[in-house]
């Protein structure tokens, strides 16, 4: 009887999974058709290096910014929902143009703030394989599924030809996660009682100014860190026409993103505690921006800003739950909810990491040999 019962449970689980997959396919049919078209184009165009380069860049530009929008402009969108989207776009778009232009001029055509000058990434791709062009398509699908995936892992790892570089990127990213998590708990546990009382009522006008300043600062620092994820498809030094193509495409892509109000990935931000309040959003952006700036000046090794961000949000949620109530039951429920959200975000980000490692191993024979030698 027990065996029969287990079989029934397994059948029910499989039936639910099959139904969920069918339901997703039905709801997302136009999008899945679009993805299939992109995959077909990637397969056809991959032997033609110049066209593959710009096709991969276009996919990476939109998919990276669409997924990472929750980190940088997510709180900005959430707390400015009543404002016209095009004012938000022009503000962030111009900051992007100024930031990448400074890098392009200062570093002799490099728009990545020398993040692509580290060993293992310093060589621009001379040819492309299908999986390299498929990486941003995978990112598009994961973004559609509202998964906060690390674009650094998914896009850079498929071009890295040294396993040591992947390890360095992972190590720096995990340190960033832990640091952000600890800082968030300390900052918000101390501030929560003050914030809880001070956030009552309508915010003063100067909070709007402060939030736009901190959001602009965070966006600029994020570009310094993550422009490499997009530029990895392109030559390491861009001429004037390549630079104009790079800048114009992303500027227009930002306009689409603001018009869509962050698209589906924005829900990762909206479900967190009080982030739609301009004062809370200002604090989140300020702390996050300072952490990213520290890692930016520390060294040129790329890092996953996504892992830093989910560490920040996770620590913040736990700190708020700890400080929220003195009643043990209420506090316990809040902490459990915060832990659930934190674990879920980590789980989704880990999926992206695993996928990127599998793709890197499949693409690069040098990395496969290094891994085999390591385990010998």
List the domain boundaries for the chain: 27-371
pLDDT at 5: 47
pLDDT reading at 355 higher than 70: yes
Mean pLDDT estimate for the chain = 79
pLDDT reading at 43 higher than 80: yes
pLDDT reading at 302 higher than 50: yes
* Distance in angstroms (rounded) separating the CA atoms of residues 271 and 289: 21
pLDDT reading at 277 higher than 60: yes
* Distance in angstroms (rounded) separating the CA atoms of residues 268 and 70: 7
pLDDT at 265: 45
**Region of residue 261 (left: phi > 0; alpha: psi -120 to 50; beta: else):** left
Q: Give residue 77's pLDDT band: very low, low, confident or very high (50, 70, 90).
A: confident
Q: What does the pLDDT average to over 70-79?
A: 72
User: In this predicted model, what pLDDT tens digit does every residue of 157-214 receive, in sequence order?
Assistant: 888 877 778 888 888 988 999 999 899 888 877 776 666 666 666 777 788 888 889 9
pLDDT reading at 229 higher than 50: yes
Q: What does the pLDDT average to over 97-107?
A: 96
Q: What does the pLDDT average to over 329-342?
A: 68
The model's pTM: 0.80
Residue 246, token pair as written in the block: 């790079």
User: In this predicted model, what pLDDT tens digit does every residue of 7-37 receive, in sequence order?
Assistant: 554 555 555 555 555 665 667 778 888 889 9
* Distance in angstroms (rounded) separating the CA atoms of residues 94 and 263: 21
pLDDT at 231: 92
pLDDT at 273: 44
pLDDT reading at 97 higher than 80: yes
Closest CA to 348 of 107, 147, 140, 190: 147
pLDDT reading at 113 higher than 80: yes
User: In this predicted model, what pLDDT tens digit does every residue of 123-153 receive, in sequence order?
Assistant: 888 889 898 898 888 888 877 776 767 778 8
User: In the chain, where does DSSP find H-type helix?
Assistant: 2-27, 29-45, 49-72, 74-78, 85-106, 130-144, 151, 163-198, 205-231, 240-259, 267-270, 278-298, 305-324, 328-363, 365-375
pLDDT at 354: 81
């Amino acid at each position: 009887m027990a065996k029969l019962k287990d079989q029934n449970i397994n059948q029910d689980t499989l039936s639910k999974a099959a139904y969920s997959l069918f339901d997703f396919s039905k709801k997302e049919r136009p999008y899945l058709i679009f993805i299939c078209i992109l995959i077909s184009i990637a397969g056809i165009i991959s032997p033609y290096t110049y066209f593959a380069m710009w096709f991969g860049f276009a996919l990476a530009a939109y998919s990276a910014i669409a997924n990472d929008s929750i980190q940088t402009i997510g709180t900005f969108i959430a707390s400015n929902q009543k404002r016209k989207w095009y004012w938000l776009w022009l503000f962030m778009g111009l900051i992007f143009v100024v930031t990448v232009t400074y890098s392009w001029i200062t570093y002799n055509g490099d728009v990545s703030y020398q993040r692509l000058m580290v060993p293992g990434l310093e060589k621009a791709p001379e040819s492309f394989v299908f999986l390299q062009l498929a990486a941003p398509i995978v990112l598009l699908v994961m973004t559609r599924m509202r998964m906060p995936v690390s674009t650094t892992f998914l896009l850079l790892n498929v071009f890295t030809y040294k396993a040591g570089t992947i390890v360095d990127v992972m190590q720096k990213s995990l340190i960033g996660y832990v640091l952000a998590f600890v800082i968030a708990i300390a900052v918000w546990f101390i501030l929560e009682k003050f914030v809880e009382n001070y956030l009552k009522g309508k915010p003063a006008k100067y909070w709007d100014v402060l939030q736009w300043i901190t959001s602009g600062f965070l966006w600029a620092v994020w570009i310094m860190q993550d422009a490499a994820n997009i530029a990895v498809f392109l030559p390491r030094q861009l001429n004037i026409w390549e630079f104009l193509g790079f800048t114009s495409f992303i500027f227009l892509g930002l306009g689409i993103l603001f018009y869509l109000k962050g698209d589906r990935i924005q829900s990762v931000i909206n479900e967190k505690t009080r982030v739609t309040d301009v004062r809370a959003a200002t604090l989140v952006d300020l702390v996050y921006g300072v952490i990213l700036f520290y890692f930016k000046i520390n060294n040129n090794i790329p890092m996953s800003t996504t892992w830093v961000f989910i560490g920040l949000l996770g620590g913040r949620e736990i700190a708020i739950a700890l400080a929220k109530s003195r009643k043990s039951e209420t506090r316990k429920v809040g902490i459990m909810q915060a832990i659930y959200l934190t674990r879920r975000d980590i789980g989704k980000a880990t999926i992206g990491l695993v996928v990127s490692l599998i793709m890197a191993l499949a693409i690069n024979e040098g990395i496969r040999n290094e891994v085999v030698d390591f385990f010998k």
